[in-house]
């Protein structure tokens, strides 16, 4: 019998490094990336990878754009939020929300992340584990995980709760890249302790309180 892959969905702001993290996990450049904060992933895409005897389907999603006063960008943000909502609902209907990864750029962990969390992550924590991947930490000292130690309490004060975390650099070449690959692979392959909240949300109520006009900013 063919092994059913574990579905891992990556969400985050434009420029948060979702595609780079997927490439880091795979070990090759499959997901398209850009060197700056410009939108790169404009559609939903999946990539399959196997390691340690297990298969994973990694879902890349369009970035939740930063706020702008221009009307076309406002419409784009609204469209992105609505598309992500429908995508997550569809995956949930097929039992394909096994893990949600919120990607955050270390230098941009602001209220934007808090709003993304409240829009998508809070509801998803009722049906599956939620973890965070913090990117662009190649200059963090003395270790990349020092960033988490400094910021974990602030997240807790904001009500942002995660089942696990990984502090990463996706730069290649970089002496911390191999350790980052190992850390993110451990994060997505971990067997998280079941919580009573998981599986409570039905197809009918999952994300249905989220409107397309919701602005993630």
pLDDT mean by block of 10 residues, the chain; 217 residues: 90 92 89 53 86 96 67 57 92 94 86 81 92 95 95 90 96 93 97 79 75 39
Tell me, what's the pLDDT at 112?
66
Tell me, what's the pLDDT at 215?
36
Q: Residue 15, CB half-sphere, CA atoms under 13 Å: how many?
A: 13
Strands, E assignment, the chain: 6-12, 45-51, 54-60, 99-105, 130-135, 164-167
Tell me, what's the pLDDT at 81?
87
- Is residue 195 one of the residues assigned to a domain? no
- Is residue 70 one of the residues assigned to a domain? yes
163: CATH: 3.40.50.300
The total domain count for the chain is: 1
Identify whether the C-beta of residue 55 lies closer than 8 Å to the C-beta of residue 3: yes
Tell me, what's the pLDDT at 162?
95
Provide the domain limits for residue 21.
6-189
Distances (CA, A) of 10 to 101, 119, 157, 206: 5, 14, 24, 18
């Amino acid at each position: 019998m063919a092994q059913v892959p574990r579905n891992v969905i990556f969400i985050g702001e434009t420029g948060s490094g979702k595609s780079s993290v997927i490439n880091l996990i795979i070990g090759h450049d499959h997901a398209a990336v850009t060197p700056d904060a410009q939108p790169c992933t404009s559609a939903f895409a999946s990539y399959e990878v196997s390691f340690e005897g297990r298969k994973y389907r990694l879902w890349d999603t369009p970035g939740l754009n930063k706020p702008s006063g221009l009307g076309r960008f406002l419409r784009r943000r609204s469209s992105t939020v609505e598309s992500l909502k429908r995508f997550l609902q569809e995956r949930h209907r097929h039992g394909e929300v096994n893990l949600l990864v919120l990607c955050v750029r270390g230098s941009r962990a602001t209220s934007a992340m808090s709003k993304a969390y409240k829009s998508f992550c809070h509801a998803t924590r009722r049906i599956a584990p939620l973890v965070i991947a913090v990117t662009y930490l190649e200059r963090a000292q003395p270790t990349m995980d020092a960033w988490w130690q400094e910021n974990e309490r602030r997240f807790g004060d904001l009500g942002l709760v995660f089942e696990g975390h990984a502090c990463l650099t996706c730069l290649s070449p970089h002496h911390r890249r191999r350790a980052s690959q190992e850390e993110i692979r451990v994060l997505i392959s971990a067997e998280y302790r079941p919580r009573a909240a998981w599986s409570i949300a039905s197809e009918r109520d999952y994300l249905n309180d989220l409107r397309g006009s919701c602005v993630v900013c």
